[in-house]
Structure 1
Amino acid sequence: MARPWLNVLAQVVPVPLGLLLSGALVWGATNADWSGTSSNSGNTWTSSSLGLANDSKVPMFSIDDMRPGDTGSNCIEIKSNADFPTALKLYSSSENWPSNFQSFVDLKIEVGSGGTFGNCRGFTPHRTAFDGTLDTFVALYNDFRTGLGPWILPGKPPNALSFRFAWKFSPSASNGAQSTSTNEVIFTWEARERT
């Protein structure tokens, strides 16, 4: 014998169930957004560099048997590879520097353009950077903070400066300066980004 309430349920349940399913389909359709994208790929960041080089292969000076009044000179070119403006300075990083014999060696340093290591022909001085004794130079200019300069290198060719070093053994050098050598002198150029 059939149960009447099952017949009623079979007729009533499909209506709300159909409404529920159709509502879900409509809800899904109304939340389907159109979209588009545009990208820019391949982005990287690479740092620049600041390097200095000079055109020497041997020391600028290796002088033997000096006599009072002797003179000499040499040029050297300093070149930067930086593509931004830098401030260049010159100082000595010599160590254990006594202050006796070296006071008889006069030193003049000019900054300019032209000339190459071992050949100052074509050197054009722009200004005198130092004119005193070797002893004074080593004592006063010993790091970037105290160094001679700054000279501005523009960060584009020609990104170089030339320096002419001229020395003279003082005619007033005393007898105590005979058979004496200086300690090693190190001339150091340093460039930093111009701020």
Structure 2
Amino acid sequence: MPISTPRAARLAAFVGVPVALVVSGVLVSAASYSAFSATTTNPTSNWTAGTVALADDDANAALFTATNLKPGSTASNCIKVTSTGSLPSNVVLYGTGGTANTPLGTALTLTVEQGTGGGFGSCTGFTPDATNGTAYTGTLAAFAGSRTSFATGVGSWTTTGAASESKVYRITYALPTNAANSLQSATTSLGFTWEAQNN
């Protein structure tokens, strides 16, 4: 006797479900094991910026506090500048602040030398560098007016980035023997700044 259509449909659906599950299982199994893989990992990378650092041995005292100047007056003082940065750097000296553009500033001569030996308060043992030992010779006013930033600073010290490197600067001023009588009681001033920039 023929099976009715609804019953045949139910039987076909019942038989179809296991077949579908078997086929699905085969596909999942095939997908789970369809590729081999491998990885390799480099340890965590780290970055640290280098440093540029300068200090001097002036103990917060001015290089010069000169009074009662007269024609022919002259004096020198040294200062040790130390680099503790980790990057190779160029170091220059320039003028900052003060009132150097005055009659006395125009009359005073200034000489800047760089070398080794001595330190703040004493130039005993100072020896200028064999090459570029004299960094500036001119008037105080001209130095203040033309040497105003890193771009126009004087000196030729290049650090290597070692733990501690120093350079001694000897600065000398002089009032010429023919200084004008009108300079009596005249004043002038200037700050000195050393700046390092990595190269």
Q: TM-score, normalised by structure 2?
A: 0.83
Q: Quick one: which amino acid aligns to residue 159 of structure 2?
A: L
Indicate the RMSD between aligned Cα atoms, in angstroms: 2.5
Does residue 192 in structure 1 map to residue 194 in structure 2?
Answer: no
Given that 2:101 and 2:144 are in contact with CA atoms closer than 8 Å, whether structure 1 keeps it comes out as: no
**Bigger shift: residues 90-99 or 21-30:** 90-99
Per-residue deviation, 1:160: 2.5
Per-residue deviation, 1:61: 0.3
Q: Quick one: which amino acid aligns to residue 31 of structure 1?
A: A
Counterparts of 1:117-128 in structure 2, within 5 Å, are: 117-126=120-129, 127-128=133-134
Counterparts of 1:8-157 in structure 2, within 5 Å, are: 8-9=8-9, 11-32=11-32, 33-40=35-42, 42-57=44-59, 58-126=61-129, 127-157=133-163
Per-residue deviation, 1:108: 1.2
Q: Quick one: which amino acid aligns to residue 89 of structure 2?
A: T
Describe the superposition over 1:69-110 as per-residue Cα deviations: whole angstroms up to 9, x where unpaired.
222111111222322221111111235443311233221110
Per-residue deviation, 1:150: 4.0
Per-residue deviation, 1:21: 0.7
State the secondary structure of the residue aligned to 1:107: strand
Whole-angstrom CA distance in 1 between matches of 2:143 and 2:14: 104
State the secondary structure of the residue aligned to 1:31: helix
Per-residue deviation, 1:165: 0.7
Does residue 167 in structure 1 map to residue 173 in structure 2?
Answer: yes
Per-residue deviation, 1:63: 0.8
Describe the superposition over 1:17-58 as per-residue Cα deviations: whole angstroms up to 9, x where unpaired.
222111111111111145454444543433222222111120
Whole-angstrom CA distance in 2 between matches of 1:85 and 1:125: 22
**Bigger shift: residues 154-163 or 49-58:** 154-163
Which structure 1 segments of 5+ residues have no match?
none
User: Percent identity over the alignment?
Assistant: 30
Whole-angstrom CA distance in 1 between matches of 2:64 and 2:108: 12
Per-residue deviation, 1:144: 1.9
In 2 relative to 1, CA 10–104 (structure 1 residues): closer, same or farther, beyond 3 Å?
A: closer
Per-residue deviation, 1:16: 2.7
Whole-angstrom CA distance in 1 between matches of 2:85 and 2:153: 20
Q: Quick one: which amino acid aligns to residue 190 of structure 1?
A: E
Count of residues paired in the alignment: 192
Whole-angstrom CA distance in 1 between matches of 2:153 and 2:8: 105
Whole-angstrom CA distance in 1 between matches of 2:40 and 2:104: 74
